[in-house]
Amino acid sequence: MPSVPRSEDAEEPPVVDRDALRGRTLFERSELAVVALQRGEVARASAGARELVPGLEVGRPLPARAPFPLARVEVGGGETLLFYDPRPLAAYEELRVGFTAAVSHELRTPLARLLVLLERAERPGADVAGSLERARAEVEQMRELIDDLLFLSELETGREVVALGDSEALPVLREVAAELADSADRAGVTIVVEGEDGRELPMRPRMLRVVALNLITNAIRYAGVGATCKVSVGSGDATVELVASDDGGGVAPEHLSRLFERFYRADPARSLRGSGLGLAIVKHIVLSAGGTVEARRSAEDGLEIRCVFPL
């Protein structure tokens, strides 16, 4: 094809500075939030920085409420680069949204069942007493959920001191087992408490009671008829251990690591019993007391929850 002669008045195509374009793109899409300051005013800001720092505007000083930077780098021309890490905030926001959705779901389910029971009680010839009794159970479940949420909030905001002195374990474990004896009988579960007299655990009696209550209640609800739950305290290699072990149906291996998550249920049947927060509370208390907690299959192929504290 013959070439077309160019007019002398034709504009030259713009020259693209690929390095500068690449730099601007990397700046804009940086995983870290980046702000460039020139003479104390914002010269450039990445997308992440504009999202992270409210009120960030080019040509104006950095907002007073801007978070403390992860790093501050002085570059040529009097420019200062501030680096922020938005990932903790994003992770928190994701956790908050997920937690709100989970709580809404957990409250919506018993409320829906409660509404059905009340409507059923209004029908001619309905078993009003039976419907009211089941409705009362739904209300109790919602109250348990709310109480557990408030208790977790109390723990996480630091208003409840977990590891304040030591508690002798066996008296507390026996007291909780006796308190839950009727529930265990109705579920067909046998509770056995054993261990070393005088052995102490590094937490307040109230906290130890909460841990024992949740461990034993978990076995009563899910181990199954005919199961035995053994709660024991003893010493290991420079450790002291609290173990709740049963010989019930157990939990599939892929679910074990998630049992301590809030509202996590290993099977659909668990959604009808409990608040779904018991083992999450156990984990929080144990970690706050300097220990570790693990769920695994017991020697009898049931479930074992092992809480280990350094001596």
CATH number at residue 185: 3.30.565.10
**DSSP per-residue letters across 71-111:** EEEE-GGGEEEEEE--HHHHHHHHHHHHHHHHHHHHHHHHH
Average pLDDT on 293-302 reads 86
> Residue 138's pLDDT is what?
77
User: Does residue 162 form part of some domain?
Assistant: no
pLDDT tens-digit series, residues 279-290: 888 888 888 888
Its pTM stands at 0.55
Residue 70 predicted with pLDDT over 70: no
Q: Are residues 268 and 304 in the same domain?
A: yes
- Count of domains for the chain: 3
Pairwise CA distance, residues 143 & 311, whole Å = 37
Q: Are residues 177 and 267 in the same domain?
A: yes
Range of weakest confidence among 35-39, 210-214, 301-305? 35-39
Examine the fold and report which residue of 37, 62, 85 is the final residue of a domain before the chain moves on. 85
Q: Which residues is 306 bridged to in the sheet? A: 243, 294
Range of the domain at 67: 22-85
pLDDT tens-digit series, residues 48-59: 777 777 788 888
Percent of the chain topping pLDDT 90: 20
Residue 21 predicted with pLDDT over 80: no
Query: Which among 6-15, 19-28, 269-278 has the top mean pLDDT?
Result: 19-28
Q: Are residues 222 and 282 in the same domain?
A: yes
- Grade residue 1 by pLDDT with cuts at 50, 70 and 90: very low
Pairwise CA distance, residues 21 & 179, whole Å = 71
> Residue 106's pLDDT is what?
62
**DSSP per-residue letters across 118-130:** HHHHTSTT--HHH
Average pLDDT on 240-265 reads 83
Examine the fold and report which residue of 42, 68, 85 is the final residue of a domain before the chain moves on. 85
